[in-house]
Amino acid sequence: MALDHSIDISDDALLQLYANGDQAAARQLTLRLAPRAFKQAYRMLGVQADAEDVAQEAMMRVWKIAPEWRSGEAKVTTWLYRVVANLCLDRLRKVQSTSLDAIDEPIDPSPSAADDMQSNARLDALQAALIALPERQRQALVLRHIEELANPEIADVMEISVKAVESLTSRGKRALTQILKGRKAALGFEGDAP
């Protein structure tokens, strides 16, 4: 099966095709899910190699669960966000003593998207500030403001109440503001139009 119109095929259906031996489905799922898993892991861990390891482990769990996946019971992406989040927390707890020195320099974004120094400085500053937050606040902020998930889905991923999500994101944003406060000028925010 060529999956020429795979854009119309749900993740559920692709998982079923994969479980039935369809190699095109494997490629399609990889293209859809692996970059997403990597992105989430990178925002949580700040280290490229660790993020790739976590994303690879999460994808292995996708392949493993495919034959048992029950269509319609849960969203594949929500399940994957949860797996990545838990793997990241496990890894962070194992390396409690991770210092900022161990954090990679943020990955250079594609030049077309951010080709000026100010944008790079802002990206670096936000990533560093995220890494400085407590794990749960960081997780909630990444899911809410970078992955753009709705609060009920974040609650599902983090297995907490929607109120707890709201509290984590609110405290996280306040903490980020505090961390970035002294860098407004360097990040080019002073003098910006409102």
Partner 1 sequence: MSDETELNKMFDLTRRTPPEPSPDFMARILSDADAMQPASLGVLTETATKRGIFRDMFSGLGEAIGGWPAFAGLATAAVTGVWIGISPPQLLIEPFGTVLGTDSSAFSEVLEYGDGFDFTLFKG
> Which residue lies nearer to partner 1 by CB, 96 or 181?
181
24's torsion region: left (phi>0), alpha (psi -120 to 50) or beta?
Answer: alpha
> Which residue lies nearer to partner 1 by CB, 5 or 64?
64
DSSP for 163-179 reads HHHHHHHHHHHHHHHHH
CB of 88 to partner 1, least distance (A): 14
> Which residue lies nearer to partner 1 by CB, 66 or 157?
66
> Which residue lies nearer to partner 1 by CB, 31 or 159?
31
What are the two backbone dihedrals, phi and then psi, of residue 158, each rounded to the nearest 5 degrees?
-90, -5
Torsion of CA 46, 52, 53, 56, to 10 degrees: 140
CB of 145 to partner 1, least distance (A): 4
CB of 133 to partner 1, least distance (A): 13
CB of 5 to partner 1, least distance (A): 21
Place of tokens 């983090």: 158
Tokens of 96: 């409690």
Rounded to an integer, what distance in angstroms lies between the CA atom of residue 145 and that of residue 123? 14
CB of 152 to partner 1, least distance (A): 20
Q: Which residues bind partner 1 (CB under 8 A)?
A: 18-23, 26-27, 29-31, 34-35, 38-39, 42-43, 48, 51-52, 55-56, 59-60, 63-64, 66-67, 106-107, 109-110, 113-114, 119, 122-123, 125-127, 145-146, 148, 173, 176-177, 180-181, 184, 187, 189, 192-194
CB of 146 to partner 1, least distance (A): 6
> Which residue lies nearer to partner 1 by CB, 14 or 155?
14
Place of tokens 């692996």: 34
Rounded to an integer, what distance in angstroms lies between the CA atom of residue 136 and that of residue 17? 35
Q: How far apart are the first and last CA of the chain?
A: 53
CB atoms under 10 Å from CB of 166, counted, come to 15
